[in-house]
Amino acid sequence: MTNRTFITTLFAAPVLTLFAVVLFGCEAAERTRTITEYDCNTSTAQDRAEFILDCLEAGNPKSDEEPEDWIPLCMRKADQLFCKKRKFVVTETKKVGGFWTETHRRPLAPERKP
């Protein structure tokens, strides 16, 4: 065994171990967060469609750019304006590979106005 191989072997294992601890060991295995979803029904479909078309037309009328960037923004804003807002508290656990998986969901009580 040469000195170079010995030094590489001597330092490789602790460095890889330290890297794995920092990468996987320092993060929480569970997290809780609040999410907002919009419950849209067919009764608002026509209003949302008209809003989206008006939004696209007004978004950038003089530009030669295609409206691909505006479409999701206008759709999201239409949902926010015309659909029922629902909030949830979601608990997620971290799986192998760093992906979060939802394990529990409960509706958040609506805020009471004074």
- The answer to whether residue 69 is domain-embedded is yes
Q: What is the pLDDT of residue 108?
A: 87
Give tens-digit pLDDT for 64-104.
667 778 889 999 999 999 999 999 999 999 888 888 899 99
Is residue 74 within 8 Å of 55, Cβ to Cβ? yes
Model confidence band, residue 15 (pLDDT cutoffs 50, 70, 90)? low
Residue 64 in any domain: the answer is yes
First to last CA, the chain: 78
| Mean pLDDT along residues 2-12 | 56
Q: Which domain holds residue 73?
A: 42-82
With respect to residue 49, please indicate whether it lies within any of the assigned structural domains.
Answer: yes
Rounded to the nearest integer, the mean pLDDT of the chain is: 80
Q: Is residue 70 within 8 Å of residue 55, measured between CB atoms?
A: yes
How many domains is the chain partitioned into structurally?
1
Q: Parallel, antiparallel, or unpaired for β 84-94 and 100-107?
A: antiparallel
Query: DSSP readout, 34-97?
Result: EEEEEE--GGGHHHHHHHHHHHHHHHSTT--S-GGGHHHHHHHHHHHHHSEEEEEEEEEEEPTT
Read off the pLDDT of residues 44-73 as tens digits, 9 standing for 90 and up.
Answer: 999 999 999 999 888 766 666 677 788 899
